[in-house]
Structure formats: C-alpha cells, structure tokens
Amino acid sequence: MKLNCDMGESFGAYKIGRDEQVMEYVHMANIACGAHAGDPMVMEKTVALALKYGVTIGAHPGYPDLQGFGRRAINYTADEVRTTIIYQTGALAAFCMAAGTRLGYVKPHGSLYNTMMENEVVLTAVFQAVVSYDADIPVMIQATPRWQHHEKLARENGINLLWEAFADRAYESDGSLRKRNLSGAVLGSDEVIKQAQTLCEQHCIISSDGMRLEFPVDALCVHGDSESSISVISQLRKLVDSYEN
C-alpha cells in the first residue's frame, strides 16, 4: 500500500499546501492540472520535486472552478467530462515528458471524483478519456464494497484501476465517505494512525457505525495542509513501509 497526496495546488501569488515538506514521505503525487488549482509554472516545479524524491506522478484533473477549488459540482455532459480530462491530463503529461519521465496514473479531483463514484456515466467518461489518451495509464478510484462492479466496468472500457482509501476520513456503512458537514467526518491524528494500522493489519476499515468494510487498497490518501499533518504523514510512511517488509 502506497501513500498518495494532492500536490501542486498553488497558483500565481497564492501558496497552498506544503509540497516541499510532504514530498519526501509519499510514494505518489496527485498533481493539479491548472483547472481547479495549479498553473503551468507550479506544474513544472512539482513534477521536478516528485522526480527529486522518486515519487510516482499522477494527473489530478478537476472541474474548472478555481474559486470553488473544484469542490462544487458542475453539470457537465459525458463529452465535456471526457474532453476536460484529456485536456488536463495532456498538459501534465507534457511537463512529465519535458522532464524526461512519464505520467503514472490519473486521479480525478474533488467534486469530479465524488460525482464519478456516484454516476457511472461520468465514471465511464473518465475511463474513455484516459484510454483514448494512453490505455496503459491506470485510473485511481475510491475502493468501496462495490469494487468488483467497478472493476468489471473498467475492464469493459480497457482500463486498469488503482484502489484508494482515505487515511483521514470517516466512512459510512455503504463504503462512502462521511460528509464533511457531519460530526466526525475528518479524523484526528490518533484516529488517522489507528485507521491506517487497521487497514494494514486486518485489510479493512471500520465504518462510523462499526461495520467492517473490506476491499482492495493500493493507495492511501493523505493531506499535508498543516505542520501537524506532516508529522502524521511521516508516521504513516513508517507504518506502511513496515508492512511492506
């Protein structure tokens, strides 16, 4: 199981996140592609930073909503979803090529990610976008109790998947993330470590109402927005590495 983190979200004069501190602790970097966050110079810099630490680079395309940070739903058609994924993925892939490396995966961001997990038309459009660009690039999606259905849909579209769980988010019994406006949706530091440890040891996540959720997990999403989160991420890196050996 690898750690992945959203990166490259600064733009212009605005600095977001602590990429320089986080990058050394993660295995995979989800780099913003200039729509919900990021800009060309930040994309180039973040690709270089990932290469410095040997981190796999992923495209993190989202709805083009800078003010809402890609967290507001946009009623895109399937074709609009498909073309914006191609557009944003291609932009980051160009910076990878210029740096002498390749794009490792695609993980949609924010509201687009949530929408595709609820709407198979959108999810299929994401698959079609990536396979039309490069069928060898996997798509990272949320692991849920419906993972076998999603795997079948991916196979039908010629796409490989990476399964993702969240270290710092509470889960509902259906495998969805607890909505942020509900109490306990975002876990504290100790709870994050405990959830990751349960995932490593028992290969499951315990939902907010005590249900045991079992599904494959390739990547554990972390967030490095604060100084305290850096400490948690460093502990998580030691934890997941200890179970690899």
Domains of the chain, earliest start first: 2-166+217-225 (3.20.20.370)
User: What are the φ and ψ backbone dihedral angles of 133, each rounded to 5 degrees?
Assistant: -85, -50
pLDDT score of 179: 87
- 224 pLDDT exceeds 80? no
Residue with tokens 């991916």: 154
Question: Judging by beta carbons within 10 Å of its beta carbon (0-12, 13-18, 19+), is residue 49 exposed, middle or buried?
Answer: buried
pLDDT score of 223: 87
Kindly indicate the confidence band of residue 245, based on its pLDDT and cuts at 50, 70 and 90. Answer: low
* Per-chain mean pLDDT for the chain: 95
Query: What mean pLDDT comes out for the span 85-109?
Result: 98
pLDDT score of 147: 96
How far apart (Å, rounded) are the C-alpha atoms in residues 93 and 105? 10
pLDDT score of 126: 98
Per residue, the 3-state secondary structure of 34-65, as one string, reads: CCCCCCHHHHHHHHHHHHHCCCEEEEECCCCC
- 83 pLDDT exceeds 80? yes
How far apart (Å, rounded) are the C-alpha atoms in residues 211 and 90? 40
Percent of the chain topping pLDDT 70: 99
- 79 pLDDT exceeds 70? yes
- 227 pLDDT exceeds 80? no
Percent of the chain topping pLDDT 90: 92
- Total-model pTM: 0.95
pLDDT score of 131: 97
Digit-coded pLDDT (tens) for 140-166: 999 999 999 999 999 999 999 999 999
Query: What mean pLDDT comes out for the span 86-94?
Result: 98
pLDDT score of 181: 85
What's the token pair of residue 160? 């490989």
pLDDT score of 116: 97
pLDDT score of 226: 66
- 132 pLDDT exceeds 90? yes
DSSP for 62-100, written as a single string: --S-TTTTT-S-----HHHHHHHHHHHHHHHHHHHHHTT
Do 161 and 150 form a contact (C-beta atoms < 8 A)? yes
Of 21-30, 117-126, 129-138, 183-192, which gets the smallest average pLDDT?
183-192
Query: What mean pLDDT comes out for the span 36-41?
Result: 97
How far apart (Å, rounded) are the C-alpha atoms in residues 1 and 119? 27
Cα distance from N-terminal residue to C-terminal residue, the chain: 12
What's the token pair of residue 9? 């979200």
